[in-house]
């Protein structure tokens, strides 16, 4: 699976999309989600503007767990706050503010999401 950036049409933000099949295991879906957010961060740096992250349609973890109310998703299972539907995560903040944040803020949130997801690798 590989992620790409599709250039915007008219006044829309550029967006992330994938080619290939989504993974079927928790570990590989988490790795793909990290890869996606790295591409988001790289795209922000290159384009100097926020990019649409593709939401649940481009999230390997969502493809596995969203229709089951996120049960068994490593984000949902992470300790601390209520992360159901990615609540209280950098991803959620990014999505809520996509049309009204600076490139610097978008980059900071994308990098924070990478770090957050990397922290879930190896978690039980």
Q: What is the pLDDT of residues 36-78, one digit of tens each?
A: 999 999 999 999 999 999 889 999 999 999 988 888 999 998 8
Q: Structure pTM? A: 0.88
Q: Is the pLDDT of residue 4 over 90?
A: no
Confidence of residue 113 (pLDDT cuts 50, 70, 90): very high
CB 13 within 8 A of CB 6: no
Domain locations in the chain as residue ranges = 2-118
Helix axes 103-118, 90-97, angle to 10 degrees: 150
Give the three-class secondary structure for 61: helix
């Amino acid at each position: 699976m590989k992620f790409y950036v599709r250039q915007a049409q008219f006044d829309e933000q550029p967006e992330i999309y994938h080619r290939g099949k989504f993974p079927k295991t928790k570990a590989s879906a988490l790795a793909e989600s990290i890869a996606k957010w790295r591409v988001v961060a790289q795209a922000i740096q290159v384009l100097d503007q926020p990019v649409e992250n593709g939401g649940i349609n481009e999230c390997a973890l969502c493809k596995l767990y969203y229709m089951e109310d996120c049960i068994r998703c490593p984000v949902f299972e992470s300790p601390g706050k209520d992360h159901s539907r990615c609540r209280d995560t950098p991803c959620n903040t990014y999505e809520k503010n996509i049309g009204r944040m600076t490139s610097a803020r978008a980059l900071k949130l994308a990098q924070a999401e990478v770090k957050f997801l990397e922290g879930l690798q190896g978690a039980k």
